[in-house]
Amino acid sequence: MISAVKKHVRDRSGFSVAEVLIAIASLALVSVFILQMFIMSAHLNRRAQYTDRAQLLVNSCLEQFAGSLSPLALSDYPQFKGAMLITHKDGSLSAVVNLNEQFAPEPDESEAHFRLIADVLFEDADRLPPLPLELDGAGSPAQRSRMLSLSVSVLQLRSDNDPRQIGFGTTVRYEQGGDVS
């Protein structure tokens, strides 16, 4: 009877110290990988949000350009309030505005996280390739004075001084006769 009790006690003795240490080490190792996955997921989620917001901003600029009566007045675009406007020798325009992390204009360049850049390029009608016949409202061939193209990009400014483009778009608009202001 005593041997049966000793055998029963020996069977219920539990885990050894070595088994417990191996289990804790295994759990710690798995936990490190899971934590790294959460950190990477949060980083990728933030990058995706930035990319989505940048592309939304680019599309907004392109739509404003396409529907504007004065497409060259970039300073009137809400996205370019307070932008630095540059007129090039060829008559093209560039607008540059620094943005903070919420994509709002940031006057202090050292605090900027993003940079919105728009370039408006012109081509006179005599330099344009022929297009299929376009008719104006009266049914006569439309006169094109020039083609305007807008390229918009959003750059993410990084600490290593290597900006990364996270949004880009371009559109073309033909102006019919006369000057565009």
Residues 42-64: tens digit of each pLDDT? 999 999 999 999 999 888 888 88
Whether pTM > 0.75 for this model: the answer is no
Q: Kindly state whether residue 95 falls inside one of the protein's structural domains.
A: yes
The verdict on residue 126 lying in a domain is: yes
Closest CA to 85 of 53, 120, 60, 57: 120
Lowest mean per-residue pLDDT among 3-17, 79-93, 134-148, 152-166: 134-148
Q: Is residue 4 part of a domain?
A: no
What pLDDT is attached to residue 135? 43
Calculate the alpha carbon distances from 15 to 5, 22, 29, 44 in Å.
Answer: 19, 11, 20, 42
The CA distance from 27 to 64, in Å, is: 55
What backbone torsions phi and psi does residue 23 show, to the nearest 5 degrees? -65, -45
Mean pLDDT of 11-22: 83
- Strand (E) or helix (H) holding 6: helix 2-11
In a domain, 28, yes or no: yes
Q: Is residue 6 part of a domain?
A: no
Domain assignment present for residue 3? The answer is: no
Q: Could you give the number of structural domains in the chain?
A: 1
Expressed as residue numbers, the domain containing 62 is: 17-176
Q: Does any domain span residue 157?
A: yes
Contacts of 133 (CB under 8 A, 6+ apart): 141
Please report whether residue 71 resides in a domain.
Answer: yes
